[in-house]
Chains A and B, each alone.
Chain A
């Protein structure tokens, strides 16, 4: 095999508990881990749970230390909001591509203070709370989430903002308006656009045409909203004025005071430039002033907005003509650094027909300009306006206002082709303007005075050619003519740019300026050009956009920056899906009555009242989610928010991949009969978790969503989206829902203030895990939970929104029952994204959408080097997920063993200074946390108070103590002032103590010389309404912290070398798998087996659940191990004695020498795995052992393997389940027997299709994908009959059976519940599914000091998150000794145990000590054994005549120190003195 260089890094996909566990195991054993999570925070579904079964532990308590550990781990790189898009290479050397969605918040700068969320105007449903509550668009998934930084949800840019040429944050200003923040809204608008009022009157609002609301009813009246803002602003004494950044000397000239020129001036002035605008006309505003008639945009309103620009220091000189009064040369001479040409299009296009020069024929732009300047004469007689655009309408309506009562618009286009906006045409018609379509002027006729009197028109047959180009065709046979007094030609604008040509400014062929379309720079580098004069006639908002572009370019030009870099931004947008948007009609503005418009230029469209404006603003659908109102940017003093972040593509080199993408809960809304969508009191089990959670939407108060009333009666419906082929297409069992329901019934009762009735409707109660059956029994018998065996198909709703259930009982009765709430126990399913991920990575998934794996390598995906774990591997609970995660880590580590340690990082630290014998010199750093602390408590006062405290030599306060620059400064200050104790008064030590400890350690201080005062989370955040109390309490907390710091002592951890080898006790599949897995990771292994053969119970198995033959697998394991020189095997051997601590155990083994004589050997090892296995119980009933045709499963295996055995000729076989399990003697479920019986039944049926097979059962527990077997069995005609434990099946044997007799038929009688009668079956064979027992190993377990439960199974350290660890460190467990489990589960657990052991074995040494207990006065020890009795871990021992606590074993709880009567045991860092000084300081 070619040698492949391995990459010592692993990609872990999925930041749920499985991903976290895999990441930690690997990072703790020498690998760099990239942990990829699609959400903004890791934690997955477990973080959403309230309690965990079967211990009822708080899920958050259990997971949050793991979150912090993973979040801060030096060798775990978190990639949040990311997904894997591709992979190349092979096992050992993959290259992976990630797509990392922008977070919009800088991970390093965010201090998690949450000020941003307070100002965020956008409220969205809280996904973490299953949408039972809401949160803001800027959010942290949940308070304890890691990484701590917030994130912003965006759905691209909102369509309105994307489409607005000026890209005004339209959704943003509307969101602010919804909150009544009109001033902020105006400011936001004016950040992008200086004319909210003018554009609020004249804009053609392309934003409205894309408004999503338009897809539902009508688009938002966006224009009116910003007009309102502008009007409101100008009602104030001093309207809002943008801030001017630092004043600059550079001068910029703008030629033309239209919207483009003024906009450029507006932005340049804000950047501090000296801007002069030159205007040829006597008025300011360009076309806004002289092209748009006053009745649409009143001069006064425009002037107000221009005045704001002037107030910024912009000088506008009117009556100055470029090329005449000023030139490029003169500007240069006057010291201008740049010029912006924005001269507009003030000429009119000519018709080019005869008689066009006659008197009485005017040009449209001239006419409007004259009208605007008050120079227009009163118009009388018949006026014909030629043109069909908006300008023509403006001209017509202006003509009407100038007194003409006979105005006719004539245009080439048909009515529906007219370029004018519909509402403009309607306005024209309203004001009695005649419109004549499809006619073009042929020539004008004049009278003797040279004045026009008649126009001849020809019929226009088409305006555009097939390519849509303007190419009018006429029918010159159809001529008309009419008499006329005035003609105004308004068929388009042209530039009057001769002055430019004279100045050497180049023009393009159509007549516009030549300039770069992105930067607007002309060939003359300091001259820029924009607006209509550059791109042709457009609108005010387009001109604004152009002016903004010019301002940015000119700024870059003056500063010598790259003009083009980063300029071309994509403005693609996605619209949200809209369903159920209530129809709310758009507001309509009042218009000036037509009768009042005649003869005057009063504004036609009236402003909207505030109520209407508010109603309109409320119609916004928040398409972009984040509205980009930038309030968060303003309040974030840490400067962490960055809306310009974009999606990144990241490439990573890794040697292996672990997939733990998890699942989503089944969405029951598609099951209409369950009424989930229609009744708020029908909730999913995950929603119910959030309801129960103290940090959930109802703060843990058990209330129902519809009316927040406490329910008195709740029903749980099982198997929603599980065990249901149709319509859910989920034939599998989700494995966890039965226990979730049992747990929820119990917890709900605890949460309920009154009595709560709980009922669970189920098909089979599947409580197959360790201690699950007991939980179920307790729920039913002690807690009074009602369990009803029935599948409820319909949930109706009564008038009070109470769910009404109709169900059929097992006895056949139809019942109707009303509940206050219904919880749907929804199943687990893989997501579309996960299936995509599988496809991207090229791994198989099975028919149910889970990863395809084999039972004999349960965590290996179909592609080498890729591993899977958690629910993606198949539906399962947390401990099983955690086990698989560790197993996957072991798989990856075995793959990459040669590269261990090649990419991991270590911290380089300076030597620690020795302060012994010196007085304390305390430095106190008080944090403002932006305004989180300083905005409530008087931080300077706290700081000055700290100065008065004993031994304080330095005090200071900082804006953010955790920021990198403060950390650097802190290190300096420590050295400068000789500080030997540090106190930080800021947030919580839970999140920040490690950070500050690192900092002081980098300054040479021992990390225990640090103390924190939590003056934020436990002070200013909770006393924000009482600043005085907050200040006083902050002082108290600082005084207490300083007091403790004054008696802080350095602590040192001692390195202990590690014996890097493993001892495995037990040679079954668990032990052998562990041995092999460890050897593959490169560790020497000692394997001890009591028997003379290896293989344990697996040696008697036929196939796995999926049908893989077991014998060759076991044989191969044995062979591989015996060939592996790293593995030392001791068969026929037993452990005699074991001593030592993790990393350094010594074990004596009694074995046999080659000559067969007993001999003891001693092995040294760093970790131990106990895999002592289990066995099948021997039934004492059902005639077992008395009749030859009553078998156990192992008997049956032997019989089936024997070709001529009688079982092959049996006609009828009966399986009896739960023989010896789930009874008083063994109140646990043996987990595997249902599956095994069904598997065997199917094998028999396969061989002998005519065989009648009965399975007598209590609950069928084919959990997970094993359900497929049950389905298949029923399809194949295997009969299932349920019995009650009170009426077990009975077996009668033929009297005095004669073994030689041919008739050995057994009679099996069982009470059939539906028929309510006894069923008698004549059976040729009866198979008893007898209980699984652990091997009896009491002495061995005592040697290793490991605990067992009441059933004799080994007890793991924690039922959920430490399923293969023991509480005493360095010892691990796997296999049947832990609990009954299938072969695949055993293999995974064995591999997991190796991953856990590897955390120790991968190191040269481990550090012990620190915060541990110690006997500091051994000579005073009375050996009273109080410590020995009280230590929960059995650590204290009597050594050399006194109590001794091994620092390697101590967990640091301090119970012994509290109990020690002589007070000679102490817990370091929490000494009596340190604790009492701390409280004493409060009263000093």
Chain B
């Protein structure tokens, strides 16, 4: 796992993480029990199932200036609601296409799958996502927003 804390980039991405209650959120808790350290950039919102996540829930934070949004659900085939994570994947793909169309990097939005026993994996994907966003740099939306706020 890359040690992001010593990375030269001063940029601290702000990432929203939607986690399903049964697997991803529980995995994040397990990473805690196991005291596995990972970047503080991701702020988790718990949802009953990633199937609940609408495109608007992903796009709104982007509009608010989020540098990235990650969606983490159960392993494919193991969704507690049978197909929720598959539905989520297709919506995530749709959002990524929209981002591409408007000239933003699709990689700011990503979907992950993991089981509740995968505490280390949670830490890994958080680091991976943070790293990826750090390479992409701050969201242009966020930057623009900041500038216009400063100008006002």
Contact = CB atoms under 8 A, between A and B. Distances in A.
Nearest to A1021: B32
A932 to B, nearest CB: 10
Contact of B45 (A1021, A1032, A1479): A1479
Nearest to A114: B33
B64 A1018 contact: no
Interface in A1426-1484: 1430, 1432-1433, 1451-1455, 1457-1459, 1467, 1470, 1472, 1475-1476, 1478-1480, 1482-1483
Contact of B57 (A1452, A1453, A1459, A1479): A1479
B95 interface: no
Given A695-B117, A700-B118, A1452 B53 contact: no
B143 interface: no
A1468 to B, nearest CB: 11
Give the bracket for the number of chain B residues in contact with chain A: 35 or more
A50 B116 CA distance: 11
Contacts of A1029: 40
Contact of A1472 (B5, B31, B56, B81): B56
Contact of B52 (A1021, A1432, A1457): A1457
B82 interface: yes
A1478 B32 CA distance: 22
Contacts of B84: 1432, 1453-1455
A143 B29 CA distance: 9
Nearest to B22: A61
Interface in B64-94: 64-66, 74-75, 77-78, 80-84, 87, 91
Interface string B31-71: 11111111010011111110111101100110011100000
A60 B29 contact: no
Given A55-B77, A1483-B14, A1476 B123 contact: no
B37 A1024 contact: yes
A694 B78 contact: no
A1470 B54 CA distance: 11
A1022 B120 CA distance: 11
B28 A1018 contact: yes
A58 B115 contact: yes
A902 to B, nearest CB: 35
A144 interface: yes
Interface in A1019-1057: 1019, 1021-1026, 1029-1030, 1032-1033, 1036-1037, 1040
B40 A1026 contact: yes
A65 B23 CA distance: 11
Interface in B14-31: 14, 16, 21-23, 25-26, 28-31
Nearest to A1458: B54
Contacts of B119: 143, 694-695
Contact of A1470 (B47, B121, B123): B47
Contacts of B5: 1025-1026
Nearest to A1475: B57
Given A61-B74, A1024-B35, A1451-B81, A694 B120 contact: yes
Give the bracket for the number of chain A residues in contact with chain B: 35 or more
A1472 B57 contact: yes
Contact of B44 (A699, A1014, A1025, A1472): A1014
Interface string A368-390: 00000000000000000000000
A638 B82 CA distance: 41
A1480 B83 CA distance: 28
B37 A1025 contact: yes
Contacts of A1019: 40
Contact of B49 (A1030, A1453, A1472): A1453
A700 B115 CA distance: 12
Contacts of B51: 1453-1455, 1458
A1480 B121 CA distance: 27
Contacts of B33: 114, 143-144, 1017, 1021
Contact of A1017 (B32, B45, B57): B32
A1026 B123 CA distance: 16
Contacts of B78: 55-58, 61
Contacts of B57: 1472, 1475-1476, 1479
Nearest to B117: A60
Given A61-B23, A1022-B36, A1432 B82 contact: yes
B43 A143 contact: no
Interface in A668-695: 693-695
A1478 B120 contact: no
A213 interface: no
A64 interface: yes
A1432 B52 CA distance: 12
Contact of A60 (B32, B45, B65, B116): B116
Interface centre among B14, B26, B38, B75 (most CB of A within 10 A): B26
Nearest to A1037: B43
A990 interface: yes
Interface string A988-1023: 111100000000000000000000001011110111
B81 A1453 contact: yes
A1458 B77 contact: no
25 contacts: A50-B117, A56-B78, A58-B116, A60-B117, A61-B23, A61-B26, A61-B80, A695-B119, A700-B118, A1014-B29, A1014-B44, A1018-B32, A1022-B31, A1022-B32, A1022-B40, A1025-B5, A1026-B5, A1026-B40, A1030-B40, A1032-B40, A1040-B43, A1452-B48, A1454-B48, A1455-B52, A1458-B52
Interface of A: 50, 55-61, 64-65, 114, 143-144, 693-695, 699-700, 988-991, 1014, 1016-1019, 1021-1026, 1029-1030, 1032-1033, 1036-1037, 1040, 1367, 1411, 1430, 1432-1433, 1451-1455, 1457-1459, 1467, 1470, 1472, 1475-1476, 1478-1480, 1482-1483
Given A61-B116, A1433-B82, A1472-B54, 9 more contacts: A56-B77, A60-B116, A700-B121, A1017-B33, A1018-B31, A1022-B40, A1029-B40, A1470-B48, A1470-B52
Closest 5 CB pairs of A and B: A1454-B52, A1017-B32, A58-B115, A1453-B81, A143-B33
